[in-house]
Amino acid sequence: MVLINESLRGAICEQISHELYNANLYLYMCAFLKNKGLDNLAKHFEGQHEEETGHAKEFLNLLTDLNADVIIPEIDGIQMLFDNILDLANTYLVREILTTTSIDEIKKLAILDNNPVVEEKMREMIAKQQKEYEEATTFLDRATLMPEWWQCALWDAAGG
């Protein structure tokens, strides 16, 4: 017996794809920074990649716990250039805001569907976004102080 309706299941499948896109974006940012010789800053995005992959697994586990089929939509490739660290930092923060909005929409669907299990899981995932916001805004604050690539070398040398 499937314990979730089709529209809610579809939204969670989309969220898995969203989380995997985030993971790929952060892995891309990691490589971008490594190619600039900013290995310590790159490590931050290695960690973000792992977190986002973990989030995708949490959504997958939710669906399998509810005996629902999992279909992961195609994940877009990533190729972008960042003119400066501020571009990268802003992209990071915007992505986390989009993620929170997406999870909140799933929570609203769960409330309409009277599915307290999904609703509670979405509340849990939204709570995790507070840490994501803190990390992204701190990164942006530091990038604002050192907006040029050569200044980032000082930030990187200090351990990222």
First and final C-alpha spacing in the chain: 49
pTM above 0.85, yes or no: yes
What's the sign of the alpha-carbon dihedral 105, 108, 114, 117? positive
Kindly state the average pLDDT of the residues 126-132: 97
**Domain map of the chain by residue range?**
6-68+81-157
Instruction: Provide the pLDDT for residue 56.
Output: 98
pLDDT at 123 over 90: yes
Encode pLDDT of 39-97 as tens digits. Answer: 999 999 999 999 999 999 999 999 999 999 999 999 999 999 999 999 999 999 999 99
Report the CATH fold assignment for 6-68+81-157. Answer: Ferritin (1.20.1260)
Instruction: Provide the pLDDT for residue 103.
Output: 98
Instruction: Provide the pLDDT for residue 34.
Output: 97
Question: What percent of the chain has pLDDT above 90?
Answer: 95
pLDDT at 160 over 90: no
Helices (H) and strands (E) counted in the chain, each on its own, are 5, 0
Confidence of residue 141 (pLDDT cuts 50, 70, 90): very high
